[in-house]
Amino acid sequence: MNNDIKRSMELDKRYIWHPFTQMQGWLEAEQMVIDSGDGFYLIDTDGNRYIDGISSLWCNVHGHRVKKIDDAIKDQLGKIAHSTLLGLGQSASAVLAEKLIEIAPDNLKKVFYSDSGATSVEIALKIAYQYYHNIGKPRKKFIALGDSYHGDTIGAVSVGGMELFHSIYKPMLFETLFAPSPNLYRFDGTSRQCAEFTLGKIKQLLKDNTGNIAAVIAEPLVQGAAGIIVHPKGFLKNLRELTKKYDTLLIVDEVATGFGKTGKMFACEVESVQPDIMCVAKGITGGYLPLAATLTTQELFDGFLGEVDECKTFYHGHTYTGNALACAAAIASLELFDENKIIASLPKKIKLLEEYLEKIAVLPFVGNVRNAGMMAGVEIVKDKGTKQSFENKYQVGAKLCAIMRDNGAMMRPLSDVIVIMPPVAIDIETLRKLLDIVYETLQNELPELTRII
Ligand code: PLP
């Protein structure tokens, strides 16, 4: 290890507080530091290569150091890195907005930029809330799904339903009405009954709160952070119909699912759903730079028009809203989707992934496998019959992912769910290599691990 690398690790431990990380364990142990990337591989400071099995936390699309995106950022640097969108236009953000509207569901016509998934959700909630205020029919509440995750800011946490992450903050949050997540593996009944159970609860909440629900918010098709909980087929479409029938807005949070992950450009497309508001982030720049967007209908946008003293303005914005470098990266990423026919290439990759999932499903301690396109989860349980989980203290998922890392795949679990979510542009050979590492680790190491604990 050269001195620069040694020093950067020392500085990291001295100064950095890592997200979603128990820092006690971090400070005690030797840690891996990623130094560079090469296509679908990450390279650590010792030169070891790992397939990026979780697309750098679900955002990388075309791989790392992609020439077209690198060049687009460099070209934009030659013009300007950033100028504000507050009362001022900026060309890269305008060009990107047109491209986003072209690929988004047809009814979405306007783009409000921000810089993370969480902020795109905050904006969606505030737009829904203020829209009803502006049209003189104020509504105060939101409906969300249990176990949902929409980011870590207070509004996003208020509509989030993950006990482990969110319960501590309850006194700080606004009240949200929750319906149980349609989690088929943990539901005693058929897929249809599972969907109907949740939809029935939402219907009841809508009826009980007529005229007071600003929006229903949901992750479309799959609840990622909850452990890749894949919704029953038709759930999203039925949710859309329900929100229309009971005259409320539907916000879809496509932060994780957007940009090819479910096999289509957006999850909404899979069930031909047109939401009122759509949040996108993560993959929007190909996984290069922080950028997010909240897309809305013309009707919502029009609800904010008026003279200044009518106070209908949307008073929300962030300093780096619509950052030009990030927009340039996003434009290049969307062009690569076309040039490399990424969406058309997905069925073959999804088929391979599903073939491996079938093999994995029959292994000991694998309770459930599930996927929505390229987003897959393998749930490890203590008892396949009762579906009982291992106690959290054993950290089975984390231990398995550490072994997979040693075997050349960069993985990160969600509790005991092993997440497989490579960049969607990954080539078949590299995908097969990744899946071999996952399969072999689960086949050979999991029984051994359970013997020790
Ligand atoms: N919404 C969903 C569905 C997510 O999966 C995430 C992050 O995983 C977020 C929002 C938050 O995004 P960010 O981490 O960019 O704030």
CATH number, residue 206 = 3.40.640.10
Amino acid 453: pLDDT = 76
Residues 39 and 80 in one domain: no
Instruction: Mark which of 339, 355, 390 sits at the end of a domain.
Output: 339
Instruction: Tell me the CA–centroid distance for residue 359 and ligand 1, in Å.
Output: 30
Residue 184 lies in a domain: yes
Domain span including residue 120: 70-339
Cα distance between residue 335 and residue 344, in whole Å: 14
Name the closest-CA residue to atom 13, ligand 1.
117
State residue 415's pLDDT score: 95
What is the mean predicted confidence (pLDDT) over 8-22? 93
Does 379 lie in the same domain as 331? no
Residues 323 and 391 in one domain: no
Model pTM score: 0.97
pLDDT tens-digit map of 171-182: 999 999 999 999
Tell whether 250 and 128 lie within a shared domain.
Answer: yes
Same domain, 224 and 80: yes
- Across all residues in the chain, what is the average pLDDT? 96
Residue 23 lies in a domain: no
Rounded Cα distance, 254 and 282, in Å: 9
Question: pLDDT tens, 377-420?
Answer: 999 999 999 999 999 999 999 999 999 999 999 999 999 999 99
Span between the terminal Cα atoms of the chain, in Å: 34
Pocket of ligand 1 (CB under 6 A): 116-118, 121, 149-151, 219, 224-225, 253, 255-256, 281
Whether the per-residue pLDDT at 434 is higher than 90: the answer is yes
Structure-token pair, residue 229: 């909980």
Looking at residue 362, the DSSP 8-state letter turns out to be T
What is the largest distance, in Å, between two alpha-carbon atoms of the chain? 70
Ligand 1 centre distance from Cα of residue 452 (Å): 35
Kindly state whether residues 208 and 271 are assigned to the same domain: yes
Apex 59 CA angle, 292 and 65, nearest 5? 110
Residue type, 184: L
Closest CA to 404 of 370, 381, 382, 378: 378
Please check the confidence at residue 451 and state whether its pLDDT lies above 90: no
**In sequence order, what E strands does 30-123 have?**
34-38, 41-44, 49-52, 108-114
Q: 307 and 402 share a domain?
A: no
Place of tokens 């859309």: 240
pLDDT in tens, 201-234: 999 999 999 999 999 999 999 999 999 999 999 9
- Contact, 160 vs 154, CB < 8 A? no
Task: List the residue whose alpha carbon is closest to atom 12 of ligand 1.
Answer: 117
Tell me: do 322 and 399 sit in the same domain: no
Q: Is there a contact between 227 and 415 (Cβ–Cβ < 8 Å)?
A: yes
- Identify whether residues 48 and 159 lie together within a single domain: no
In a domain, 440, yes or no: yes
Q: Would the pLDDT of 436 be above 80?
A: yes
Look at residue 2 and tell me if it is in a domain.
no
13 within some domain = no
pLDDT at 165 over 90: no
Cβ–Cβ under 8 Å, residues 228 and 414:
yes
Place 306 in a pLDDT band, splitting at 50, 70 and 90: very high
Claim to verify: residue 335 and residue 346 sit in the same structural domain: no
Residue type at position 267:
A
Indicate if 322 and 380 belong to the same structural domain.
no
Q: Atom of ligand 1 at shortest distance to CA of 292?
A: 15
Is 16 a residue whose pLDDT tops 70? yes
Residue (of 369, 364, 382, 377) closest to 444 by Cα position:
364
How sure is the predictor about 1, in pLDDT bands with cuts at 50, 70 and 90? low
Atom of ligand 1 nearest to the CA of 156: 10
- Check which CATH number belongs to the domain holding 445 and give it: 3.90.1150.10
Residue in 72, 53, 56, 74 with CA at minimum distance from that of residue 64: 56
- Per-residue confidence (pLDDT) for residue 166, from 0 to 100: 79
Number of domains making up the chain: 2
Inside any domain, residue 20:
no
Could you tell me if 262 and 409 lie in one domain?
no
Name the band, by pLDDT with cuts 50, 70 and 90, for residue 270.
very high
